[in-house]
Amino acid sequence: MNLEHKLSELAQFIISGKHLDAQKITTELVENNVDADTILKESLMKGMDVVGQRFRDNIIFVPQVLVSARAMKTAMKILEPLMIKGNIKSKGKILIGTVKGDVHDIGKNIVATMLQGGSYEVVDIGIGCDENKFLQEYEIHKPNVIGISALLTTTMVNMKPVIDHFKNKNINLPFIVGGAPINKKYADEIGAFGYGKDAYEAVKIVDSLLDS
Ligand code: B1M
């Protein structure tokens, strides 16, 4: 098997949204002992980057992006069990969700999977979560850390109300934020404990808090 060729072929299937081909080739790569991290970084993320650029430049539109997202999710389903170690003592609990008004969940799902892979228990509360939803789920699950994801400049502003809501209730919990429009400066401004540029950084920040 020519590894480079196969990885770039998979990236192409993500771009063209051919989910069955993406499924087939991901399985083939896994069967050839290519590690999940390499497949994620070299094929899936690279493919989605191209999709993002073409979407931004109006070369493709929402329906094409959705088929690419489906291909990405199909491939991730195969990788997820490999990224999550079984039967390891949990280092802590993270509650994670995408902010109000935002449906983007691919990145959040990767962060959740990587955290699980890092031996954290993850409660994923889904998309479109406002401050009340975060608080309600906090009361049920009592996590050690809360993660908020936002992909739109119009929805990133909905992160601060979540953090403020907890502060107003005198609940002092570290918040980790991330997503394409977020940066460290913004995270500091809204009172988050940390900012993850990507899923790897998100795990590192949580490690700095809980993995002592
Ligand atoms: Co949307 N979209 N989208 N979209 N979409 C973006 C975000 C956009 C940048 C595209 C563009 O113009 N280039 C643009 C936002 C522009 C802006 O705000 N400035 C945009 C737009 C405009 C829109 C709509 C408004 C389009 C429309 O309807 N006219 C609409 C909004 C809907 C809504 O939310 N209300 C919309 C819809 C959609 C789809 C439904 C079609 C689909 C989402 C499918 C889904 O998620 N289930 C979609 C997609 C797929 C994208 C792009 C192409 C790809 C996003 C993605 O999945 N990337 C995106 C372009 C882009 O980002 N380049 C775009 C792959 C993923 C692995 O990366 O999500 O960045 P990412 O996650 C990374 C890091 O950011 C980080 O780690 C992840 C993994 O390493 N991270 C965290 C993420 N969350 C984190 C949390 C953390 C820590 C790190 O701690 C808690």
pTM of the model: 0.92
Which is more confident, 159 or 88?
159
With a cut of 70, say whether residue 212 has pLDDT above it: no
56 and 121 housed in the same domain: no
Secondary structure element (H or E) that encloses residue 195, with its range: strand 194-196
75 and 175 housed in the same domain: no
CB atoms within 10 A of CB 170: 6
The Å distance, Cα 69 to ligand 1 centre, comes to 10
The predicted model gives 168-181 an average pLDDT of: 97
Q: How confident is the model at residue 149 (pLDDT cuts 50, 70, 90)?
A: very high
Q: Domain range for residue 145? A: 93-210
CA nearest neighbour of 77 among 126, 41, 43, 26: 26
Query: For ligand 1, atom 13, which residue shows the shortest CA distance?
Result: 56
Q: Which of 54, 55, 62, 116 to mutate to test the pocket of ligand 1 (most atoms within 8 A of CB)?
A: 55
178 pocket-lining for ligand 1 (C-beta < 6 Å) = yes
For the chain, give the percent of residues with pLDDT over 90: 85
Last residue in a domain, options 53, 85, 117: 85
Average pLDDT, the chain: 94
Give the sign of the dihedral formed by CA 154, CA 51, CA 203, CA 79: positive
**Ligand 1 atom closest to Cα of 200?**
80
pLDDT tens-digit map of 185-209: 999 999 999 999 999 899 999 999 9
69 pocket-lining for ligand 1 (C-beta < 6 Å) = yes
Contacts of residue 83, defined as CB under 8 A and 6 or more positions apart, other chains included, come to 36, 37, 40, 113, 114, 116, 117
Last residue in a domain, options 44, 68, 85: 85
